[in-house]
Structure 1
Amino acid sequence: MAGGTVVDGGVRMSWGEALSRLRNAQKAAKGVSLYSRFVNRPAGRVLAASAYVARLTPNQVTVVSAAFSFAGVAVLALGAPSWAVGVLVSAALVVGFAFDSADGQLARLRGGGSPAGEWLDHVVDCAKLTVLHLAVAISFYRYPGFYGTEGSELWLLLPFGFLLATIVTFVGGLLTEKLKPRPAPGSAPPAPSTLRAVALLPVDHGVFCLVFVLLGGGPLFLWGYGLLGAAAALYLPLFLVKWFRELDNG
Structure 2
Amino acid sequence: MEGRPGYREALERLRSAQKSAKGVSLYSRYVNRPLGRVLAAAAHRVGLSPNHVTALSGVCSGAALAAVALASPSWPLALTVYAGLVLGFALDSADGQLARLRGAANPAGEWLDHVVDCAKITALHAVVLVSFFRFHELPGDGWLLVPLGFQLAAVVIFFGGLLTDKLTPRPAPGARAAHAPAPSRLRAVALLPVDYGVLCAVFLLLGDERAFRLGYTALGAAYVLFCVAFLVKWFRELSASASSAARS
TM-score per shorter chain, which class? over 0.9
1:168 aligns with 2:156: yes
Of 163, 171, 183 in structure 2, the residue corresponding to residue 192 of structure 1 is 183
Amino acid at match of 1:60: H
What displacement does 1:112 show? Answer: 3.9
Q: Residue 20 of structure 2 aligns to a residue in which SS?
A: coil
Amino acid at match of 1:22: L
Of 119, 125, 130 in structure 2, the residue corresponding to residue 127 of structure 1 is 119
Of 222, 246, 249 in structure 1, the residue corresponding to residue 237 of structure 2 is 246
Which residue matches 1:36? Answer: 28
Q: State the alpha-carbon separation in 2 of the partners of residues 32 and 246 from structure 1.
A: 18
The answer (yes or no) to whether the contact 1:28–1:190 under 8 Å persists in 2 is no
Which residue matches 1:7? Answer: none
User: Residue by residue, what CA displacement relative to the aligned partner does 1:128-169 show, whole Å, maximum 9, x if unpaired?
Assistant: 111110000000001232xxx14x100000000000000000
Which residue matches 2:167? Answer: 179
User: Residue by residue, what CA displacement relative to the aligned partner does 1:160-208 show, whole Å, maximum 9, x if unpaired?
Assistant: 0000000000000011111212356674554211111000001100010
Q: Residue 16 of structure 1 aligns to a residue in which SS?
A: helix
Of 195, 198, 212 in structure 2, the residue corresponding to residue 207 of structure 1 is 198
The answer (yes or no) to whether the contact 2:22–2:183 under 8 Å persists in 1 is yes
Q: State the alpha-carbon separation in 1 of the partners of residues 10 and 169 from structure 2.
A: 31
Q: Residue 206 of structure 2 aligns to a residue in which SS?
A: helix
**Gaps spanning 5+ residues in structure 2: where?**
244-248
Q: RMSD value over aligned CA atoms?
A: 1.5
Identity %: 61
Q: State the alpha-carbon separation in 1 of the partners of residues 82 and 167 from structure 2.
A: 34
What displacement does 1:11 show? Answer: 2.9
What displacement does 1:12 show? Answer: 2.0
How many residue pairs match? The answer is 238
Q: State the alpha-carbon separation in 2 of the partners of residues 139 and 30 from structure 1.
A: 36
Of 212, 215, 229 in structure 1, the residue corresponding to residue 220 of structure 2 is 229
Dislocated runs of 4+, deviation >2 Å:
181-190
What displacement does 1:247 show? Answer: 1.5
Which residue matches 1:65? Answer: 57
The answer (yes or no) to whether the contact 1:94–1:209 under 8 Å persists in 2 is yes
Q: Residue 29 of structure 1 aligns to a residue in which SS?
A: coil
Q: State the alpha-carbon separation in 2 of the partners of residues 193 and 56 from structure 1.
A: 35
**Gaps spanning 5+ residues in structure 1: where?**
5-9
The answer (yes or no) to whether the contact 2:136–2:209 under 8 Å persists in 1 is no
The answer (yes or no) to whether the contact 1:30–1:190 under 8 Å persists in 2 is no
Q: State the alpha-carbon separation in 1 of the partners of residues 200 and 113 from structure 2.
A: 18
Amino acid at match of 1:214: L
Q: State the alpha-carbon separation in 1 of the partners of residues 19 and 226 from structure 2.
A: 23
TM-score of the superposition, structure 1-length normalised? 0.92
Q: State the alpha-carbon separation in 2 of the partners of residues 173 and 44 from structure 1.
A: 22
Q: State the alpha-carbon separation in 2 of the partners of residues 189 and 171 from structure 1.
A: 26
